[in-house]
Structure 1
Amino acid sequence: MDLLAEITAANRAKLRSSSGMRGALNKVGFNLGLSPAEQRAQERLGVIRRQLTTTYQIAVVSVKGGVGRTTTAAALGSTFADLRADRVVAIDANPDFGDLPTRTRPHPYGLTLRDLVQASNLEAFSAVQSFASINSSDLAVIASPWTTEAVQALSGQEYGTAVEILRRHYNLLLVDCGTGVLDSVTNAVLHTSNAVVVVTPASVGGVKGAVATLNWLNSHGLQHLVAKSVVAIVQQQRSKPIVDIEAIEKLFETAQRPTRLVPYDAHLAEGGEVDLRLLERETQLAFEELAAALAEGFPNYLAGAGDRGGWR
């Protein structure tokens, strides 16, 4: 086996750079490997594509409205769906003003999570998928039942029933929560999630809200979510933020919580459907890094696997 490994290593093909100066030189006969930036991109992609052997749920939360939570959920879900080979679904669990379909793609027939819960014969994936809209990144989206005519808000019981159905068919669930951590549906989301993204604008008030959210989770028996939390700092204005971004990052660093900065992007600021192809490269990279930070928390399916045998 050692000899076989040496033969494999000696004959392994080397990835060649296809961009920048290295790519230009390769086109005229050189054989230059990947640049450090390209190597980091390959490593990041490998982390995002880590295999899931059980359903994993990520809650996207903020205690203040208008901070970019739904936009973050849409772009992050699209990034996962675009780069992973398994099934990814985003769920609008905002009981008051569910706006996720506006940022992804509305269902052609207006079906919602409530319709999914009330349906029968949902054993086949195709039957469940029919209640979801699919955006340009192949992200499935389940809409909130909120409408201007609605008389009953989405409940925690409805969400629990829906997520039980979705867990049988999707590997990765991203949930866009409302601003009220005490309402029944957000409470149900948090108690069924494995990780959380806390979204905050680059402002003093936003950071206070993010800190309060983490403290609330910690004091209500959800320490495992705090341990798997990532803070997304959203820059909502084109101009330079008034507060020091590095100071915000250092604040959360003292609590050993990772942060990722989402820069201002004109496409996201439009308020319509998020299309990853229209984002600036810096913004694409920011969401890939956010996805990778969350994927690092995926359960390690190799842990304790032991010797499973192999070719002899």
Structure 2
Amino acid sequence: MTTRPADRAAHPSGDGRGADAASDLREDAVLRPQADRPRSGWRRALFELTGGRVNPGPGEAEEARTALLARIRSPLAGAHRVAVTSVKGGVGKTTVAACLGLGLSEHRGDRAVVLDANPDAGTLADRLTGDARITVRELLDDLERVTTWTDVSRYTSLAGRLQVLASEQDPASGDAFRRDEYERICDLLGRFFNIIITDSGTGLVHSAMEGTLARADSIVVVGAPTVDGAGRASKTLDWLVAHGHAELAADAVVVLSCDRRSAEVDAERIRDHFRSRVRGVVEIPHDPHLATGGRIDPARLRPATTDAFLELGATVADAFDVRRGG
């Protein structure tokens, strides 16, 4: 039977349901469910050995990693600024900023930059690229002439997919990096990058730190599971609350760097203390590669360290909000 034009107009899909019928042919509706392909370990070996006929699916650890990566890839519009800080030196703040940047840039499709705002000749660029010849000072001097992505990239070095902006390397002029200069740099980077991580240097009262906190969308406070390391991290949160940053403190992520730890310290009590104060707590295990203080090679990290930094990246990305971006 031939369908008349009038019939087609009334029933364009042929079954009386209109365009909604097309939803019946979506890929997830047509294809039969299949177990996810395992990506590692004996499960992958078995899958490949049998040509896919035997598929045990991913193991628990692989599923956990997949869930972390899904969180890391949370959508983000505009720029999100993360400040990594500590009132105490020697707790791994620069290492945390570097590895957080490496993880986010590696597993996301947008652009990420890590900025060394340490007023005392920071070592972030040394840890990531070994190239600190061009610094934030040169970028500040040329700021009015920087209008394109190509212009910006002349002042950064590259670690994997992560752009790195080095700090001023002359300690005598480090205090010239003032709040207004930091804010100008941060505003410029916000035009070209989705994620801006600031290694803020030790302490909370220098001028650049004022600008860091004024611009920050979220903060990472680095401490250690020791009496002094945990105490200083807690005092950092106290300081933030006392100086008008209570919301930032409550939404913070505390990182406990486990290079130093003692069986005499009740680590669970420390964790519980911070869980009651902030949005997330992540422990970074001791890693011989990071302990050298040299150039960071992600391939040389222990699996537990890689997993911990994935957890940190996912916890930070949980704060991404496409409605707030910019």
CA contact (8 A) 1:202 1:241 kept: no
Q: How many equivalent pairs are there?
A: 300
- Unaligned stretches of 5+ in structure 2? 1-19
Q: Kindly tell me: are residues 102 and 151 of structure 1, through their superposed partners in 2, closer, same or farther at Cα, counting changes over 3 Å?
A: closer
Q: How does 1:1-312 map to 2 (within 5 A)?
A: 1=20, 3-4=24-25, 8=29, 10-26=31-47, 27-28=49-50, 29-107=53-131, 110-119=133-142, 120-135=144-159, 137-148=160-171, 150=173, 152-237=175-260, 242-301=264-323
> Alpha-carbon deviation of 1:133?
1.0
Counterpart amino acid of residue 71 in structure 1: T
- Unaligned stretches of 5+ in structure 1? 304-312
CA contact (8 A) 2:120 2:174 kept: no
Q: Kindly tell me: are residues 63 and 256 of structure 1, through their superposed partners in 2, closer, same or farther at Cα, counting changes over 3 Å?
A: closer
The CA deviation string for residues 185-240 of structure 1, in whole angstroms up to 9 with x for no partner, is 00100110011110002211111111111111112221221132111000114x75
Q: What CA distance in whole angstroms lies between the structure 2 residues aligned with 1:242 and 1:281?
A: 27
CA contact (8 A) 1:17 1:34 kept: yes
TM-score using structure 2 length? 0.86
> Alpha-carbon deviation of 1:11?
3.2
1:307 match: none
Q: What CA distance in whole angstroms lies between the structure 2 residues aligned with 1:38 and 1:151?
A: 45
CA contact (8 A) 1:102 1:273 kept: yes
Counterpart amino acid of residue 62 in structure 2: E
- Rg larger in 1 or in 2? 2
Counterpart amino acid of residue 279 in structure 1: L
Mean Cα deviation higher: 4-13 or 227-236: 4-13
> Alpha-carbon deviation of 1:13?
5.0
Q: What CA distance in whole angstroms lies between the structure 2 residues aligned with 1:302 and 1:101?
A: 30
Q: Kindly tell me: are residues 9 and 192 of structure 1, through their superposed partners in 2, closer, same or farther at Cα, counting changes over 3 Å?
A: farther
Local SS of the residue matching 1:178: strand
Counterpart amino acid of residue 197 in structure 1: V
Mean Cα deviation higher: 42-51 or 241-250: 241-250
CA contact (8 A) 1:268 1:274 kept: yes
Counterpart amino acid of residue 266 in structure 1: P
Mean Cα deviation higher: 93-102 or 186-195: 93-102
Counterpart amino acid of residue 129 in structure 1: S
Aligned CA-pair RMSD: 2.2
CA contact (8 A) 1:58 1:194 kept: yes
CA contact (8 A) 2:84 2:97 kept: yes
1:309 match: none
Q: What CA distance in whole angstroms lies between the structure 2 residues aligned with 1:207 and 1:184?
A: 25
Q: What CA distance in whole angstroms lies between the structure 2 residues aligned with 1:256 and 1:92?
A: 25
1:306 match: none
TM-score using structure 1 length? 0.89
Counterpart amino acid of residue 229 in structure 2: G
> Alpha-carbon deviation of 1:70?
0.6
Sequence identity of aligned pairs in percent? Answer: 34
